[in-house]
Structure 1
């Protein structure tokens, strides 16, 4: 998965590449990946909550996002766009784009 976080009307603020297979295998999870996984509630609304291989359709159904995102990167007040690019066998399969407002 590739993740971009950018402040609205500006260039990309942060970019991360996350190996989802490694994420699910590890007990010491990447903090960025863990925050995104929790924010999208993927453990509840999807079937991607297991280690690789993924030899079936990936399903996200009735997605609801959390009201708070706890990213281990500082975000000042403002509008942000979080875009995730999901690859399966090195082929872009899904793009999820979420706009959020951070207020203090």
Structure 2
């Protein structure tokens, strides 16, 4: 990540104690934030959007809204979101159903494209989140992922090395 912006829209409900990027090396930065909650949250909804930069940031098909409280009650119904939360599982304390009290904290997280089940094309990405409590916008974040080079190509090469047996192969093995 090369840039991060965190905004608490309603400071009566929540406030960022910190929101920062810490460079680890030339290509990796760790993202950390601590959002202090001034009130208990029983209804939390989040919208996630992924955009890729061409001439400007353009949507690439991921714009997803999720009721967080319902999600943690039954994770099986939301496969896409489970991939996202599994990436952050060891870094965030947002891992249970409502109510949420005290704070929401993410520590030393960095995006690892090699842990995604889908290839990522080379380019610059913007990941936006909007958090709603009782259908009112309360918090926004924007993370810019710096240039990813050949992340998707390498992943595709790995996938090409895997041989998938065909129906004919299965038939021939049964005959032997």
1:47 pairs with one of 80, 85, 93: 93
Per-residue deviation, 1:61: 4.1
SS at match of 1:52: coil
Cα drift, residue 36 of structure 1? 2.1
Give RMSD over aligned pairs. 2.4
SS of the aligned residue for 1:87 comes to strand
Cα distance per residue 1:1-51 (max 9 Å; x no partner): 101111112322221111111211114141221122133x2x333332111
In the aligned structure 2, how far is the partner of 1:50 from the partner of 1:89? 18
Cα distance between partner residues in 2 of 1:25 and 1:44: 19
TM-score, scaled to structure 1: 0.73
- Unmatched runs of 5 consecutive residues or more in structure 1: none
Segments of 5+ residues of structure 2 without an aligned counterpart are 1-45, 154-176
**CA gap 1:98/1:71 in 2 versus in 1, 3 angstroms:** farther
- Separation in 1 of the partners of 2:72 and 2:129? 17
Larger Rg: 2
Say whether residues 1:7 and 2:52 are aligned partners: yes
Equivalenced residue count is 100
| TM-score, scaled to structure 2 | 0.48
Flag the structure with higher strand content.
Answer: 2
